[in-house]
Structures are given as C-alpha cells and as structure tokens.
Amino acid sequence: MMQAPEKAPLTTVAADPIILRVQDVYKHFPIAGFGGLAVRAVDGVDLEIRRGEALGLVGESGCGKSTLARLITALLPVTRGKIIFEGQEITKMRGGRLRRMRRKMQMIFQDPFASLDPRMTVGDIIQEPLDNYGIGSGKARQRRVQELLRLVGLNPNFTNRYPHEFSGGQRQRIGIARALAVNPSFIVCDEAVSALDVSIQAQIINLLQDLQREFNLTYLFIAHDLAVVRHLSDRIAVMYLGKIVETAGRNDIYDHPQHPYTRALLSSIPVPDPVVERTRAPILLKGEIPSPVNPPSGCRFHTRCPIARVPGICSEQEPPLEPHGQRDQLAACHFAGEK
Amino acid sequence: MAQTLLQVEDLHTQFFTSRGVVRAVDGVSLHIDVGETLGVVGESGCGKTITALSILRLVPDPGKIVSGRILFRGNDVVKMDDDEIRDFRGNDVAMIFQDPMTSLNPVTRIGSQIEEAMTAHKRFTPEQAKSRVIELLTRVRVPSAETRAKDYPHQFSGGMRQRAMIAMGLANEPSLLIADEPTTALDVTVQAQIIQLMKQLNRELGTAMMLITHNMALVASLCQRVVVMYAGRVVEEGPVEQIFKSPQHPYTWSLLRSVPRVDEARKDRLVSIKGLPPDLSNPPPGCKFHPRCPFVIDRCRVEEPPLGEVGPDQVARCWVLMRNVSEGDVATAKQSSISVAAAENLKAPVADIGTKSGS
Ligand SMILES: Nc1ncnc2c1ncn2[C@@H]1O[C@H](COP(=O)(O)OP(=O)(O)OP(=O)(O)O)[C@@H](O)[C@H]1O
Ligand SMILES: Nc1ncnc2c1ncn2[C@@H]1O[C@H](COP(=O)(O)OP(=O)(O)O)[C@@H](O)[C@H]1O
Ligand code: SF4
Ligand code: SF4
Ligand SMILES: [Mg+2]
Ligand SMILES: [Mg+2]
C-alpha cells in the first residue's frame, strides 16, 4: 500500500472549516506596447471555500473565472493579494514547498481533447503525477492506475491505449482519474463538462458527485451553464468583470438574489419546461460586458444595471461585498435587494 | 388548417467514405407549417446539421442526397436545377450557423455584406437594398445601426455578429429560417437577447423557423413542435408541451432527464444514457437505440419499430413506449444510471485513495 510522503503539518489546520481563503487578490496582465495599460482579469477578489463543499463560480466569458482558478491552484502568480490554502499562504511559497502544496489541489479542464498529451498512453498520463511526486514503487503505481481507471468507470485494461481512441466523455474521465491520482483534497473543475453532449455530461456530473461524497473532496466548480453549476454546488459565487458581486447558498441565490446582475443572469436562463417558459420574463441586460482593460467607474455593473442611479452613487462609489439578504449571503451593491 | 411550408419525405443522405457508407440521414420525414417554429434535437452526430444542409442542397463532399423528396410549397428541392436552387436559397430560405465568423466575410463591412446578400438575389433594387440595411440592423437591435453598418465583423462582439447574421438571413424576407445552434457560443445574457429577438421576428414577420439544438430548454422556450433524432432517424415528434410532459420514446425520456434545471430546488440525480450513439457507418440491427436503452426487450434487438402514432399529433418509434413501462422499471433505470463508476467500484477498497481528505 502506498503512503503519502508527508502528513498534514498541524491537526488544528485540518480542523479549519475554511480550506481556502482568497484575500483581496488581483491579476493584471500588462498589454505589451501600451505602457501602463493592463487587462484587469481579476481585480480585487475576496472568497472563502469551506472544506467539503462544492462552490460554484459563474459569470460571463472573460469575467476572470479561469484566471482566478489558475491563481488559486498556483499555476499563475498573483499581481497582489493573498491566497491561503489549509492555513498556509501559497502566494508566498516557492520551490519544493509550493510543489507539495499543489499536489493537494488538482484541476480538471474544459477541453478533454486538448488537455491530454496525444503521444502518451492513458496509463502514462494517469501515472505521470505519481512519477512526478515519487509516490509508490513502479508496481504499486501501475496497480494504482488500474484502480483509478476502474474508479472513473473505464476498463482497467485500457492503459496502453492513446487518447484519440476514446470519446470526449471517456477522455474527460481520464482527466479526472489523473487529477485524483495524487489524493488531492481540493479539485478545481474549469468548464469540465461544458464540451460534452448532454447524456455524457450527465455521466460526468454524476461521477463528480459520487467522488465528492466518497472522498470528501472540496470542489470549485466553474461553468457558464448556471443550471449545471446550481445542480453541483452547495454555494455559488457570481463574478462580474474581475470581481465577486454576490455569494450565497444554492437556493438563496436563486430564490432571493440580492445583486441586480445575479437576478438578471438567473432570469436569462431558459428552463426545459414549456409551461414555465410561457410565462418566464427574462430581465434583459443592455449590451455586453465592458472591456476589463478599463472597467466602468464606481460600481462596474452600472453601465448595464437596470436600477443604477446614474449620475450618482453607482457611478461614483464602488460598493463593498457585504452581508445582505439571507444568512451567509454577501452582495456588492448600494441598492442590494431592490428591483 | 395550417398550411404546409416544407415537407421532407423519407430523406436519405449518405457520405461515401473510405471507411464505408455513413448513413447520416436515414429516412427522415418532417414538416414545417407556415409561420411555425420547429425544434430538432438529438446528441452530437445524429444527423441534425446534415438534414438542414440537405434541405438547402448544401451537403458537403463526399456526401449525397441518395433518395427522398424535399417539397417546399410543393416544389421538390431535390429536383431543382441550378437557377431554381439559387432562387430558392436567395428568396425562400436562409440559414444561420453556430459560429457567425465562418459565414461573415472578414474583409467586407457588415452593411455591405447585407446589401450584397440582397442585390445578389435581385429581389431588391440596389437603392432599396441600401436603405434596407439600416432597417434590418435596427430590427435585429444593433445599436446605432447607421454607424455600426460601416464596421468590419471583427469590430463586432459575438452577440452582435450573431445579430448581423440574423439580419443577413432576413434580408430577402425568407419564409423559412434554419438556425443551427444559433446561441451556443454566446453568454447567457446575450443568449437571452437573441432568443427574445427570434421570438419577436417570428411573431412580427411570421418567418417559420427550424431550430437545431442540443439545448432542451431552448426548444421549450422557442418552439411549438419538436423532432427528436437518433442515429439519422426521427424517433419521436410532436407538440412541445406534450413531448415534454409525456415523452413516449425512451431516448426522449432520457434526454429530458439528463439535463439539470436551473429552477430545481433539490439536487436530483441526473439520468445518464449509458454508452455512445452508434457509428453511422455500422449501426446496430433492430432498434438503433437498443444497446443503450434501459427498457429493451428481445424484439428490439432484431426488428426495428416503425414510427407509430402515440397521441394527438405525436409519433414515436418504439416497441415498448414509456407509458407501458412500470414505475419499478423507471426507478431501476434511474438507479442504474447512478453511474458509471458503479456503486461497486466506489465501494471496492482502492489502495491509497483510501487516504481520504476528510477522515
Ligand atoms: N463530411 C463528412 N464526411 C463523412 N461523414 C460526415 C461528414 N459530415 C458529417 N458526417 C457524419 O454524418 C453524421 C451526421 O452529422 P451531423 O453534422 O448532421 O450531426 P449533428 O446532429 O448536426 O451533430 P452536432 O450536434 O455535433 O452538430 C455524423 O455521423 C457525421 O460523422
Ligand atoms: N495570459 C493572459 N494575457 C492577457 N490577458 C489574459 C490572459 N489570460 C486571460 N486574459 C484576459 O483576462 C480576462 C479574463 O479571462 P478569463 O479568466 O479566461 O475569463 P473566463 O474564464 O471568466 O472566461 C479576459 O479579458 C482575458 O482575455
Ligand atoms: S451598485 Fe448601483 S449600479 Fe451597481 S448593481 Fe447596485 S444598483 Fe446597480
Ligand atoms: S424499441 Fe426497444 S430498444 Fe428501442 S427504444 Fe423502444 S424499448 Fe428501447
Ligand atoms: Mg474560462
Ligand atoms: Mg450539427
């Protein structure tokens, strides 16, 4: 039986109900040749993820979800701010310590076609993280790979096949097996089911739920499909133009949205039920998401907000993310809860 | 009595590849009435796009319409000569695609492209065409249409490009608009704007629409009738409300239960369909869905069911039909889709994975 090479450093840390803290985090990508200008992909984010929960992160394309995911998993350095994982500030870590920390957080990506090396066999793809971290002997690693394949519902004898021999859903399972190989406690799924056909998507969603229950995993689940996110999440964070504008439980966010953007976003989603659809009245937002190079002043949603007071406080003062609405609900709006 | 606009009868479109003959469209019959919105749904590769391309006679090589009739106002599109088909594409029907960038010319201004679409088909004089450009862009709600008409496609956002595509599709006042995944690439708030737009156009102009999509919610929102395709065939068809309330084909039933709803309060387990759709160059015998069907009986493996009437205006291709499946079998079907990693795998001792993060 393989042993993890190191134990969690402190028992008190393991008891911390918050597994991940994101504190005032920024990521600006400078635009080459435009001195000083930058894409403000993540622009002051505060977020907490609780141990064992599935936190959903939603928002329109380009709002900074993937960038935030890559900051959290330390695949990208922050411009400013702190990220604390299991009590330790990973934004300060380098080298071996960071590598060991990263082992506990794995990422599953959107594109099952692009994220697997086409020249490697499935066995090697899944085994690679075990090799990298020097976990177990050669024999034990091979056994582990077969167990992982079985765990995600693939034939354990497939180890010698190549990714192109598998369907999209099967490739996504291979990606999941690889992510699970090193016993992570925290998994970030960035659009992990978005590219899949509905029936295959259902298989992967069910699998992710089974795995979470069985191994008490913590998920950060990112997708632009809100129905999928709501289905998989316990709590949901809504992002707009580099900032979190609301967080709440999966039911509160739907039943009592406090931020006008959340309300509009949720009302825009059609439901597979013609009877409901006959009367659903979406709140239509004006235009599209502004450029993150130069976000609007004050509340950055004010250019599209149906209840903005402009000119006035909305274009002048940035609203803080504060408790509003139900217990455990935060919203960044001067007129939270108003319609 | 509604007037039939398009009637597709027993259409077979095949691709002649080195691997063999791919039966992409394998005996499809469907119809669209004047002013009606028809949804066409099914998993990837089931023949939706090729059906649409066949209607326009735009099937790419090495594909061919092998047999069947496509009657548009009674005229068979399959038999039309080159002039007739050009007229048909210019004046009667238009198609909008998932990715507007593939169908917009990147080096021509948006306004000029829409104008060209009109002058090419000679339905409008050059003067009329010019003045209609702004009118069309305004109709699809492109803001400041007059200035934006001078933009190039790359200066438009994804949603605006899709609007421009729709404007171009409407330029010659077609009586049928075929939209293939028109909102899939768009963000939800923009998708909502486009859905609204398509509803309004259907209402204001009476344009009939054939909406091809994976998204059941879009069908519920936009369509009056729906055709469900599987492996190149129609497996169920009927009024949207009836199909959603009481689907009779196990494939339709599974599709409807495989998608989460944003308005669900509880996390019910999704139904997943085991396996994959068949290879259309080598489909299974009998009912093509039988290898994946939770309600399969012996007969299904050897004999293919016909499309039979199962309710008012509703037809389904199944020997069993959902209404004859016992509650117990439905419950088992939901259970068995429990996964994949099947309960037994999860419970089996898995070396090392045993170091659970929480315990
Ligand atoms: N150029 C081609 N050569 C060979 N086979 C083809 C070609 N184009 C399509 N096919 C096959 O025809 C079948 C139907 O394809 P079609 O594009 O109509 O699917 P679809 O239902 O639109 O799927 P999607 O939802 O993925 O768009 C598929 O099996 C596909 O592989
Ligand atoms: N490496 C990069 N260099 C420059 N800009 C980037 C980079 N990565 C992301 N961006 C920009 O940052 C913003 C947020 O992107 P992303 O996090 O990918 O959004 P999302 O995942 O929410 O769609 C976008 O404007 C994107 O173009
Ligand atoms: S602060 Fe003002 S502009 Fe921003 S969301 Fe609230 S009401 Fe709208
Ligand atoms: S005919 Fe048989 S296999 Fe086909 S859908 Fe009906 S029950 Fe299932
Ligand atoms: Mg992304
Ligand atoms: Mg298609």
Q: Mind listing the pLDDT tens digit for each residue in B300-323? A: 999 999 999 999 999 999 999 999
pLDDT at B27 over 80: yes
> d(Cα B322, Cα B301) in Å, to the nearest integer?
18
Q: Which amino acid is at A200?
A: I
Q: Does A6 touch chain B (CB under 8 A)?
A: no
Q: Which residues of chain A make contact with B260, given a CB cutoff of 8 A?
A: 205, 227-228, 230-231
Whether A169 and B217 lie within 8 Å, measured CB to CB? no
Find the ligand nearest to B287 CA.
4
Average pLDDT over every residue of B143-153:
88
Question: What torsion, rounded to 10 degrees, do the Cα atoms B91, B72, B221, B246 define?
Answer: 180
Helix (H) or strand (E) holding A142: helix A138-151
Average pLDDT over every residue of B207-212:
95
Q: Which pLDDT belongs to residue A10?
A: 46
Q: What is the pLDDT of residues A259-310, one digit of tens each?
A: 999 999 999 999 999 999 999 989 988 877 888 899 999 999 999 999 999 9
> d(Cα B331, Cα B328) in Å, to the nearest integer?
5
Assigned superfamily of B4-223: P-loop containing nucleotide triphosphate hydrolases (3.40.50.300)
Does B230 sit in the ligand 4 pocket, CB within 6 Å?
Answer: no
Q: Which pLDDT belongs to residue A225?
A: 85
Average pLDDT over every residue of B89-108:
83
Residues 36-75 of A with CB under 8 A from B: 51-52, 60-61
* Bigger pLDDT: B205 vs A42: A42
Q: Are B231 and B280 in contact (CB under 8 A)?
A: yes
Q: Position of tokens 């170091």?
A: B355
Task: Give B23's Cβ-side CA count (13 Å radius).
Answer: 19
Q: Does B43 touch chain A (CB under 8 A)?
A: yes
> d(Cα B257, Cα A272) in Å, to the nearest integer?
10
Residues in chain A: 339
For residue B47, the ligand 1 atom closest to its alpha carbon is 18
Q: Both tokens of residue A109?
A: 């990506």
Which residues are registered as beta bridge partners of B316? B236, B308
pLDDT at B138 over 50: yes
Which residues are registered as beta bridge partners of B178? B95, B210
Intervals of CATH 3.40.50.300 along chain B: 4-223
> d(Cα B317, Cα B323) in Å, to the nearest integer?
13
Mutate to test the interface with A, among B215, B216, B334, B340 (most CBs of A within 10 A): B340
Q: Both tokens of residue B169?
A: 């599709």
